Chains A and B, each alone.
Chain A
């Protein structure tokens, strides 16, 4: 729905910072209800880091409140003369002066607005958004990130500091009795899930034990600092949940000792600061949390800042980026990391270049782009030389947005190391048609087991189904859903009578529409490019890791990578030469109007 609203109003090739660029915030039809994990906010816009039209998702209580106020979408266009924030409280919709919060960080802004207006959902930008830093994001309720790739800057360009939603209208259910029965079954399944307690206790640390990564790097001392025990004893303050979620994983952290004792940080997951800790240069866990807190307050992206720190450190070590060019003495340490954050958020000195993103940085030296681990101007999140090539890693290459985590319910994760039968049951859950199975199990090289290119198409569709309904796609929540079940939930809540195939088709339609919009922005197959660095070995402590398929049987070469891309386009019904959707695909999806 968000995609269509955008496509109907957006003029191709509009500059991301033009007043004519739009931001559309959307909620799904299940948002505001008790359906587990139904609290997602989706924002679509043309993003400055990449120049792509893209969706971005977040959670916490913004969409929930918007829906309770009686709205499904907010369309933001134009530009305010002076800083403002948008206040929506049931039927009361008002742009209010934001003079006192302009220049303040996200935490201060959110606290101020919640104190002033009471219980609400708040999306806010920090100083980085105000300064149009192209990697700036927004935070929902100072916790959940929304808008990797510059949503903060787009709001900043419109002088829109924040949006606050409050709703008291309530949401009626079409078939309450039947719905209650279904809900009861679902919640009992969740209650009985044997790993639920440990998920709640450890949050995302359960899914990605950072200590293991550090151990692989040979850094046992650092690894010990982020064990489960240390997390519980020294970092975790409180677990919080998005409205309706029985599998909460959001963190309120507290540093209890040392220099930063007393620091409180809200984060969508403990993994965020701990992933920063992996980088060489941060020595203690509390440095990582402190630096992460600063990044969050400014509204920067912790992944991008960490990748920049790593990149500049490397380039500085081999004299490709000297201290003179940087304007200060570079060291791989905490102090320098902090300085990097400050100058980027404020656009000071070399920070002005960094604030314009990877593309601008690449212009500084011809060799840089070869060394950067980016796709379409966004730094990659999942490193396939460590994790191997699953759908999440592959999706980063083909996602119209650029390197991004959008292929929820990645079967290569759920089936990790498992049998192909396990994968099949997972495919059924996602609603992958049986006719596609034989193609998915036919990879370019024997031994690879699955064809990640073909499978990614279905991962994207499944993710889009969940997102468009407003459902959480995180693994621990996603695992309880199936296409059958979410269709039933949708029908009982709305009173419609949709077939699951129609739901799947509408997800496919919206993905194709997104693709079409980006073709008009000039993207094509040439931009779906595997970073060169992936084909080189990665040194991790004593280990040398190579780019391997998901089962670790085959080394991925450029040729195999190209074949996987061919297969992905083929499975999507797109032309292999330029990645355009074919005429027959456009017709089948009734998208002629947008071609």
Chain B
């Protein structure tokens, strides 16, 4: 679970399909290209029994990856300021 001042992103790894849409969105916003390895969200072992999802330094908590994850693996929760 990653907390920030504004938002909290709850991770449900068991729902993740390894589709990498979150990474593609993030890298397109911040790197102007589709480059999963450069995204601020990383999916490790995408096709293993349980994938590992983590956020890297640099993540702005913009929530776009959550918005485009269609499998409910990322969930946005309003945090406290």
- Interface residues, chain A, with chain B CB atoms under 8 Å away: 32-34, 60-61, 68, 119, 141, 143, 168-173, 176, 180, 187, 190-191, 200, 237-246, 248, 252, 264, 266
Contacts and interface: CB of A to CB of B under 8 A. Distances in A.
A252 B24 CA distance: 24
Contact of A245 (B14, B19, B25): B19
A34 B49 contact: no
B71 A238 contact: no
Interface string B1-31: 0000000000000100111110011011001
Contacts of A239: 17, 71
A171 B21 contact: no
Contacts of B44: 119
B19 A170 contact: no
A68 B35 contact: yes
Contacts of A32: 34
Size class of the B contact interface (CB-based, 8 Å): 20 to 34
Nearest to B72: A200
B75 interface: no
B35 to A, nearest CB: 3
Contacts, number: 83
Contacts of A244: 19-21, 24
A176 B32 contact: yes
Given A119-B46, A143-B47, A187-B70, A170 B31 contact: yes
A253 to B, nearest CB: 11
A68 to B, nearest CB: 7
A191 B70 contact: yes
A264 B47 CA distance: 13
Given A187-B68, A190-B70, A241 B19 contact: yes
Given A32-B34, A170-B33, A240 B70 contact: no
A187 B28 CA distance: 16
A173 B28 contact: yes
Given A68-B35, A176-B32, A238 B21 contact: no
B71 A170 contact: no
Given A191-B70, A238-B49, A243 B20 contact: yes
Contacts of A143: 47
A248 B17 contact: yes
A121 to B, nearest CB: 10
B63 interface: no
In the A-B complex, the 4 residue pairs with the smallest Cβ-Cβ separation, listed nearest first, are: A170-B35, A241-B19, A241-B17, A170-B33
Contacts of A246: 19, 21, 70
A141 B28 contact: no
A57 B76 CA distance: 37
Scoring B14, B18, B27, B37 by chain A CB atoms within 10 A of each residue's CB, the highest score goes to B18
20 contacts: A34-B24, A34-B28, A34-B34, A68-B35, A141-B47, A168-B37, A168-B38, A169-B35, A170-B27, A170-B35, A170-B37, A171-B35, A173-B34, A187-B70, A238-B49, A240-B47, A242-B19, A246-B21, A248-B19, A266-B47
A239 B72 CA distance: 13
Given A68-B35, A190-B70, 20 more contacts: A33-B24, A34-B21, A34-B24, A168-B35, A169-B35, A170-B34, A171-B33, A172-B32, A173-B28, A176-B32, A191-B70, A241-B17, A241-B18, A242-B19, A243-B19, A244-B20, A244-B21, A244-B24, A245-B17, A248-B19
A264 B26 CA distance: 32
Nearest to A191: B70
Contacts of A169: 35
A25 to B, nearest CB: 20
B25 to A, nearest CB: 7
